[in-house]
Structure 1
Amino acid sequence: MSGFLVVGDAMGRALPLVAGALGAGGVAVAALPARVRMRAELRRRWRTWALTAPVFLGSLYLGAGGAFALAAVLGVIAVSEYVRMAGLGRFDQTVLTASALVLPALAWLAPHVLDLRAAALLLLIAAVPPLLSGDHTTGFTRAARSAFGLLWIPLSLTGLVTLGDTAVAVGLAVALGDVGAWCGGTALGRRGPLARPLSPNKTWAGVVGAAVATGLVLFAVGTFTPQLWAAVLLGCVLGDLLESMVKREAGVKDAGSWLPGFGGLLDRIDSLLPALVLAMVVGA
């Protein structure tokens, strides 16, 4: 895949869908009465969506080169947040940051290189910093956390490049799936069987809301298949739980504080990362 992509059906259908969702969302949050507890936060989230949605779609519109640039920028920022939470050092961060640049570049220029051998090599690369620094006390922990970070962030983001037009559908479905999960949890998660907790702050009602939203989005952009729907939905559920696990051990509420309404970048793309991996698996 090289140069500029011809705009596919998914992108052509996603543009008016995003415009409509942002427009309807803007009207809804503007009309919220002052007594609504989350009014200010919902407005901050809408502004962040209004700024980031054009960047995401615009990058993918440019083709594989744009997808590489998007994956690299997201990877570098997400890695910096992960390094802080995981308590890794500068040498570890250098390896992770370099991987965040190299892996999307390989997905663009030499996709045949990215296979199981590359994944195995990443595990060895993760052990290099503690080995060379002679860390005999926390070396194994550092290597394990670096290996997880390599697989979780840079490798996952190569899906933005390799999935092509499907990456548009996955990204949009994940974003609106989060909205569906919030709506489902708010509307159905107060009592009854769907109010059962999936995690301390998540209920099965949220999963139902995410299932409906992701299915509708994939259908609307013309990419719906049962396999892709399952991949996106599972990514939405696992991604949120996975990042919560990391944050709980790190003792932090958010991965960062610079993204209004969300916290850090990892708080925004936590579901996207496993969804991209699973979409690559079902599309293989």
Structure 2
Amino acid sequence: MSGVMVAGEAVGRAIPLVAGALGVSGIAVAALPARLRIRAELRRRWRTWAIAAPVFLGPLLLGQGGAFALAAALGVIGVSEYARMTALPRADRAVLTAASVLLPGLAWLAPGALDLRTAGLLLLAAALPPLLAGDAGGGFTRAAHSVFALLWIPVALTGLVTLQETAIAVGLAVALGDVGAWCGGTALGRRGPGARRLSPLSPHKTWAGVAGAAAATALTLAAVGAFSPVLWAAVLAGCVLGDLLESMVKRETGVKDAGSWLPGFGGLLDRIDSLLPALLLATVVTGR
């Protein structure tokens, strides 16, 4: 069976779930009283979701070629936002941008090339700009920022290509897991054990939110026929750790959001922060 047919079947299972989630959430948001300050914010988020869903699912319907295009586009935008946050010079940004296209391309056309040899080349590529510039004052910091970005963004996004139909399940589970975390935190995170703060990195994240994300990710994976305990654990860990990871980057660099062009969210990294580690962990547990 071709990759396009397999992806088509996976998207076919996902579309009713996405349509139902958008429909129910749209009605719920529209029914909120106008006096609630959060109503306008939720409406902006819902509109972004309505646009993002076909943008994510459409390319994956085309198989690995479409997944490559999606991964490359997300990677180029993501590393641009990261480089702006960390004030990386132009040469370092060029390395990250090139890797954002080349790594998903290798995952598509030559997946066997993604091994320790590639890891060694990535390490050298990250260090090359400060080495050539003779940056004795901040060269190591620049190289460390670049290595982290390479692993966090382009390497993680290769999972959209290598995981094939599982990438669709992971993407949907992460998206609805974020919604579940918000619902769990709102409903159960005001008092009691669920109100305990998860980490100083993100004061608004609570253990009630983790419980909400756990339930939502499990139900989503089951709904698309992809549930397994290890995949669920990988997705849930991505939902929890991804947000904290980006919060750590933003707190050190002193920015509130990675960007401002996605209504209700900020930048692209603010939207895919949980997807990135989830894809990495899903790649590990599935062996793809």
If the length of structure 1 is used for normalisation, what is the TM-score? Answer: 0.98
Amino acid at match of 1:280: T
Tell whether the 8 Å contact from 1:5 to 1:64 is kept in structure 2 after alignment. no
Runs (4 or more) in structure 1 with deviation over 6 Å come to none
Give 3-state SS (helix, strand or coil) of 1:121's partner: helix
The answer to whether residue 191 in structure 2 is matched with residue 191 in structure 1 is yes
Post-superposition offset of 1:251: 0.6
Among 271, 281, 284, the residue aligned to 1:281: 284
Tell whether the 8 Å contact from 2:68 to 2:105 is kept in structure 1 after alignment. yes
- Unaligned stretches of 5+ residues in structure 2: none
Q: In structure 2, what is the Cα distance between the partners aligned to 1:213 and 1:90?
A: 41
If the length of structure 2 is used for normalisation, what is the TM-score? Answer: 0.96
The answer to whether residue 58 in structure 2 is matched with residue 58 in structure 1 is yes
Structure 1 residue aligned with 2:204: 201
Q: Deviations over 1:149-182 (max 9, x none)?
A: 0010000000000000000000000000000000
Post-superposition offset of 1:37: 2.1
Percent of aligned positions that are identical: 77
Shifted more, 31-40 versus 148-157: the winner is 31-40
Tell whether the 8 Å contact from 2:6 to 2:165 is kept in structure 1 after alignment. no
Amino acid at match of 1:57: L
Pick closer, same or farther for the CA change 1:236–1:3 going to 2, 3 Å.
closer
Tell whether the 8 Å contact from 1:174 to 1:271 is kept in structure 2 after alignment. yes
Q: In structure 2, what is the Cα distance between the partners aligned to 1:176 and 1:76?
A: 25
Post-superposition offset of 1:7: 3.9
Tell whether the 8 Å contact from 1:4 to 1:65 is kept in structure 2 after alignment. no
Q: In structure 2, what is the Cα distance between the partners aligned to 1:222 and 1:276?
A: 18
Pick closer, same or farther for the CA change 1:2–1:112 going to 2, 3 Å.
farther
Q: Deviations over 1:233-252 (max 9, x none)?
A: 00000100000000001111
Structure 1 residue aligned with 2:82: 82
Q: Deviations over 1:177-199 (max 9, x none)?
A: 00000000001101111111012
Post-superposition offset of 1:29: 1.0
Matches within 5 A, 1:38-49: 38-49=38-49
Aligned-residue Cα RMSD (Å) equals: 1.3
Q: Deviations over 1:87-125 (max 9, x none)?
A: 101000000000000000000000000123312321221
Tell whether the 8 Å contact from 1:71 to 1:157 is kept in structure 2 after alignment. yes
The answer to whether residue 118 in structure 2 is matched with residue 118 in structure 1 is yes
Q: In structure 2, what is the Cα distance between the partners aligned to 1:39 and 1:116?
A: 49
Amino acid at match of 2:224: V
Among 222, 226, 232, the residue aligned to 1:223: 226
Q: In structure 1, what is the Cα distance between the partners aligned to 2:120 and 2:213?
A: 33
Post-superposition offset of 1:13: 1.4
The answer to whether residue 99 in structure 2 is matched with residue 99 in structure 1 is yes
Q: In structure 2, what is the Cα distance between the partners aligned to 1:3 and 1:281?
A: 21
The answer to whether residue 262 in structure 2 is matched with residue 259 in structure 1 is yes
Matches within 5 A, 1:103-252: 103-199=103-199, 200-252=203-255
Q: In structure 2, what is the Cα distance between the partners aligned to 1:108 and 1:52?
A: 23
Q: In structure 1, what is the Cα distance between the partners aligned to 2:4 and 2:136?
A: 49
Tell whether the 8 Å contact from 1:79 to 1:97 is kept in structure 2 after alignment. yes
Q: In structure 2, what is the Cα distance between the partners aligned to 1:108 and 1:234?
A: 26
Post-superposition offset of 1:2: 7.6
Give 3-state SS (helix, strand or coil) of 1:6's partner: helix
Structure 1 residue aligned with 2:274: 271
Tell whether the 8 Å contact from 2:8 to 2:61 is kept in structure 1 after alignment. no
Q: Deviations over 1:4-23 (max 9, x none)?
A: 34345432211100011111
